[in-house]
Amino acid sequence: MSGPRVAVLAGGLSHERDVSLRSGRRVAEALRGRGCEVVELDADAQLLPRLAQEAPDVVWPVLHGAVGEDGALRDVLELLGLRYVGPRPAACRLAWDKAVAAAVVAAAGVAVPGEVVLPHATFRDLGAQAVLAAAARWAGLPLVVKPARGGSALGVGVVRREGDLARAAAECFAYGDTALVQRHVAGTEVAVPVVELDGRVRALPAVEVRVDGGEYGYAARYTAGAAEFFAPARLPDEVAARVAGAALTAHAALGLRHLSRVDLVVRPDGEPVFLEANAAPGTTETSLLPQAVRAAGLDLDALYRGVVETALAQPVAEPGAPWRPGVAAPA
């Protein structure tokens, strides 16, 4: 008996194309090793005819950046009547906009940094300097300026001196038309994959990211040795349980499904603060997800195969069908 036919989508036209291709290759190899028939497809003009030709049982989009995470591609997959791994379009849209995600997750009871959302037009109409000064007075220093939507830490700046604020804002606007000014949260940065297997949602062990000099920025991510990882994170059991609970709450509140990764900063008092949730987490050999899977003592290939089963077990989604966030799972 042959296993399910899976189309792994990787590549896409984003600066994370390379990472996506490596992520996709890893998932494809794992699934082939576990009895699936796998085709690897790029998200380009050939995609729709190829999907029609291949008629996969399930599609696994391993695409980062807007193409994979803003929900549009999943809308198209639903129009084609295809099952796929990962959240439905509306959940992607909630998670992709960091300010919207923070509002939803805060309403579910998880702490967030606190932020103001400033579209470029606000600066233009009201005067950049005056608006920035007011935001800085509220946030205090250091503060964080980042694009409302984006990834790989591009355009994210930590401002420690008031004089650096204008430049940070300008850099942020190079990556999007809306800036968030956030309070800076000091503490331990962690990433928590959430996975649905055998009808159960579970948080994998948190992976701690430590970067000399502070933030997990673009250079720290793509320079070998710049970041240090601890899996599981070096947290007391009771704090680790709170972190897992916060990740599960965020996953459920945003209506994410199958597989996600929730990034948080754990304050020195043990309170987990939500930064963002990723609808299509990286799956390269050195990504955070595989580290968490190993820390949990699970088999990575079997886990990917299990995620495919989870997606296969669900009915094909109707485009635009009623959608509502899930209920928070107990920690």
Ligand X SMILES: Nc1ncnc2c1ncn2[C@@H]1O[C@H](COP(=O)(O)OP(=O)(O)O)[C@@H](O)[C@H]1O
Q: How far apart are CA 293 and CA 4, in angstroms?
A: 23
Buried b (16+ CB within 10 A) or exposed e, 188-206: bbbbbbbbbbeeebbbbbb
CB of 263 to Mg ion, least distance (A): 5
Q: Nearer to ligand X by C-beta: 173 or 216? A: 216
Closest by CA to 192, choosing from 246, 148, 149, is 246
Question: Can you tell me whether residue 53 is helix, strand or coil?
Answer: helix
Q: Nearer to ligand X by C-beta: 7 or 209? A: 209
Amino acid (1-letter code) at residue 26? R
Q: How far apart are CA 274 and CA 267, in angstroms?
A: 11
Q: Nearer to Mg ion by C-beta: 201 or 275? A: 275
CB of 263 to ligand X, least distance (A): 5
CB of 101 to Mg ion, least distance (A): 11
> Per CB under 6 A, which of residues 38..97 are in contact with ligand X?
none
> Per CB under 6 A, which of residues 253..292 are in contact with ligand X?
263, 265, 275-276
Closest by CA to 280, choosing from 63, 107, 132, is 63
23-31, 42-50, 183-191, 295-303 -> range binding ligand X (CB under 6 A): 183-191
Closest by CA to 190, choosing from 148, 232, 223, 226, is 232
> Per CB under 6 A, which of residues 296..315 are in contact with ligand X?
none
Pick the binder of ligand X from 14, 23, 178, 182 (CB under 6 A): 182
CB of 265 to ligand X, least distance (A): 5
**Residue 7 sits in the site that holds ligand X (CB under 6 A):** no
Pick the binder of ligand X from 76, 128, 136, 153 (CB under 6 A): 153
Q: Nearer to ligand X by C-beta: 16 or 78? A: 16
Q: Nearer to ligand X by C-beta: 203 or 273? A: 273
Pick the binder of ligand X from 68, 150, 245, 281 (CB under 6 A): 150
117-125, 143-151, 162-170, 237-245 -> range binding ligand X (CB under 6 A): 143-151
Query: Kind of pairing, strands 58-61 and 5-9?
Result: parallel
Are the C-beta atoms of residues 197 and 134 closer than 8 Å to each other?
A: no
Q: Which alpha helices (H) appear in 45-181, and where do they start and end? A: 47-54, 66-69, 72-79, 89-96, 98-107, 120-126, 128-139, 165-173
61-69, 73-81, 119-127, 145-153 -> range binding ligand X (CB under 6 A): 145-153
Partner that binds at residue 113, options Mg ion, ligand X, none, CB closer than 5 to 8 Å by kind: ligand X
Pick the binder of ligand X from 64, 74, 83, 146 (CB under 6 A): 146
> Per CB under 5 A, which of residues 243..302 are in contact with Mg ion?
263
Q: State residue 287 phi and psi, 5-degree precision.
A: -65, 170
Closest by CA to 44, choosing from 83, 79, 77, 11, is 11
CB of 144 to ligand X, least distance (A): 4
> Per CB under 6 A, which of residues 185..224 are in contact with ligand X?
185, 189, 215-216
CB of 276 to Mg ion, least distance (A): 5
Strand partners, 36: none
Read off the tokens for 81. 């009547």
For the four alpha carbons of 21, 30, 74 and 180, in that order, the dihedral sign comes to: negative
Are the C-beta atoms of residues 226 and 220 closer than 8 Å to each other?
A: yes
Question: Can you tell me whether residue 118 is helix, strand or coil?
Answer: strand
35-43, 81-89, 179-187, 313-321 -> range binding ligand X (CB under 6 A): 179-187
Residue numbers of the site for Mg ion (CB under 5 A)?
263
Residue numbers of the site for ligand X (CB under 6 A)?
113, 144, 146, 150-153, 156, 182, 184-185, 189, 215-216, 263, 265, 275-276
